[in-house]
Structure 1
């Protein structure tokens, strides 16, 4: 798997989220940006386990991604974040990202990986990014694919 391509594909999948009226569009990047336009989703750190199957045929990656929401109104910001962290609905990041798994028998992320799964949310808290405060959380995304490509 080519890490940069996988990161970009996850960000593209996340951009399918539809936020409530008046919120604007979720901006997304496959890397940690210097500055953001909130609400913003980005793919940050990752761990990689090599050789999960014989002959470099399977690697497993675990991406930590973050979603940050402007805190102009604490309660409204948390409602927006809650909608994106929900397991269902048009604003759900889990639904949007896992839609990139493809149909049964298809490769995930447009052929870049064998499969992916949003496994958990963690770190729901205030974040500082480039000197500004946001409410946010981390989503953990597990991706498996061919280690030899």
Structure 2
């Protein structure tokens, strides 16, 4: 089974479990590292998730996946918080994180750059507006949503 199929099946199985517990699905990845396969499910809620929630979801999801047995290969299941630099995967993620520091990489350059890090000022009409610093000056860039390859929260040190 391809990674896309595994993540799709996992999403179908885990979504009702998460809804029952008032948790949000952030991301799913199915990857091979060395000889081992890992199915990683990232969950969150307002205020963050703790070990107890991760263990509960892991147990419930593992039980369901064992019943359905959709994944032929042996794998390790990991359920965790997305961490401080959680990915921004949906338009809702952008809306929820206005005034947060974010990092985006683009499919094609805008103003000669393919990466931007700064404050997410606005998300409207499928355009992301980021305020960033160029040397000592503050600038803004408008990025069409469909041009974003990857986006995540960015921790400022």
TM-score (norm 2): 0.41
Higher relative contact order (CA 8 A, sep 6+): 1
TM-score by length of 1: 0.43
Say which one has the larger Rg: 2
